[in-house]
């Protein structure tokens, strides 16, 4: 099934689709084992830094083979693509979906760059995500609240024809210094204005379960998870390495991979309204 159709179907049933970043074979397998055990579909995401680290063709091949190996329904997505050129490379490499992130550009420039990617993606049958509003990235202040405005979201989607829109309703990338408070009423207003796109929540790491469930009930369909995956993998690995002198990574990494699996299983339960 095409990703656009899947998101539409899930949104109608007030459930979501978890989108997980992967950084190496171990985090990929940790994510896929969770989806295999729960029987849920999943989106596998790659950022430019992960593509640079693993190599574009290697990263995509790992994702495709992993989905096949674990028997999981899934899609490969470019997360936070910063240029038309990167989006094009990913489309050529067979990505099912690409994000073009012009959220820090003026509105008109964000529209223009998104229109370009939407047009290019058509011949590939690929899904396109964009972002409107300010969702703080790693290293940026969380104090700036550039929430997505309903009328702007409506205009943006109508002018670009984008399939999915990442919106700012109170989340940020990375960990939070204090508990976030999602603007659910704002989400309801955005959903009432925009009928032709599904909605994406970036920065879900650290958002309380009750707020994630509420966001999904009122319009969020795709939920991104990245920081918690990196954190639990590395923290588990660090704990293991301080307790033994094992040099065989094949014996050390599985425990960290299992920690990723347990984390993702819990998130899948939330996103799928269980």
Residue 139 and residue 174: Cα distance in Å, rounded? 9
Is 49 annotated in some ligand binding site?
no
Active site residue 248: no
Tell me the Cα Rg of the chain: 18
Residue 174 and residue 207: Cα distance in Å, rounded? 11
* H or E element, residue 19: strand 17-21
Phi/psi region, residue 145 (left: phi>0; alpha: psi -120 to 50; beta: rest), is beta
Is 133 annotated in some ligand binding site?
no
Is 77 annotated in some ligand binding site?
no
Angle between helices 25-38 and 227-241 (to 10 degrees): 110
Residue 127 and residue 112: Cα distance in Å, rounded? 17
Is 27 annotated in some ligand binding site?
no
Is 174 annotated in some ligand binding site?
yes
State residue 2 phi and psi, 5-degree precision. -65, 145
Residue from 5, 9, 40, 79 carrying the catalytic annotation:
79
Is 226 annotated in some ligand binding site?
yes
Report whether 155 contacts 170 (CB < 8 A). no
Is 204 annotated in some ligand binding site?
yes
Q: E-strand spans in 103-246?
A: 127-132, 164-167, 198-201, 220-225
Is 10 annotated in some ligand binding site?
no
Is 131 annotated in some ligand binding site?
yes
Residue 198 and residue 211: Cα distance in Å, rounded? 18
Is 80 annotated in some ligand binding site?
yes
Is 203 annotated in some ligand binding site?
yes
* H or E element, residue 5: helix 3-12
Is 225 annotated in some ligand binding site?
yes
Report whether 164 contacts 7 (CB < 8 A). yes
**Residue ranges of the binding site:** 80, 101, 131, 173-174, 202-205, 224-227
Which positions are annotated as active-site residues?
A: 79
Q: Show binding-site residues for Zn(2+).
A: 80, 101, 131, 173, 202
Provide the annotated binding site for dihydroxyacetone phosphate.
174, 203-205, 224-227
């Amino acid at each position: 099934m095409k990703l656009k159709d899947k998101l539409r179907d899930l949104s109608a049933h007030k459930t979501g689709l978890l989108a997980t970043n992967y950084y190496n074979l171990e985090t990929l397998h940790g994510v896929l084992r969770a989806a295999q055990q729960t029987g849920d579909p999943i989106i596998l995401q790659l950022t430019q830094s992960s593509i640079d680290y693993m190599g574009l063709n290697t990263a995509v091949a790992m994702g495709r083979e992993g989905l096949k190996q674990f028997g999981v329904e899934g899609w490969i997505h470019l997360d936070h693509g910063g240029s038309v050129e990167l989006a094009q490379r990913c489309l050529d490499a067979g990505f099912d979906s690409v994000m073009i992130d012009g959220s820090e550009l003026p509105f008109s420039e964000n529209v223009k760059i998104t229109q370009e990617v939407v047009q290019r993606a058509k011949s590939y049958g690929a899904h396109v995500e964009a972002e409107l509003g300010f969702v703080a990235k790693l290293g940026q202040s969380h104090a700036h609240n550039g929430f997505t405005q309903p009328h702007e979201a409506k205009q943006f989607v109508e002018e670009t024809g984008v399939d999915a829109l990442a919106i700012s309703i109170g989340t940020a990338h990375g960990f939070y210094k204090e508990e976030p408070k999602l603007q659910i009423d704002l989400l309801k207003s955005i959903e009432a204005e925009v009928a032709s796109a599904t909605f994406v929540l970036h920065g879900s790491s650290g958002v309380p379960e009750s707020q994630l469930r509420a966001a999904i009930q009122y319009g969020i369909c795709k939920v991104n998870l990245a920081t918690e995956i990196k954190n639990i993998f590395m923290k588990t690995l660090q704990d293991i390495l301080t307790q033994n002198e094992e040099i065989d990574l094949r014996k050390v990494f599985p425990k960290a991979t299992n920690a990723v699996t347990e984390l993702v299983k819990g998130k899948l339960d939330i996103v799928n309204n269980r």
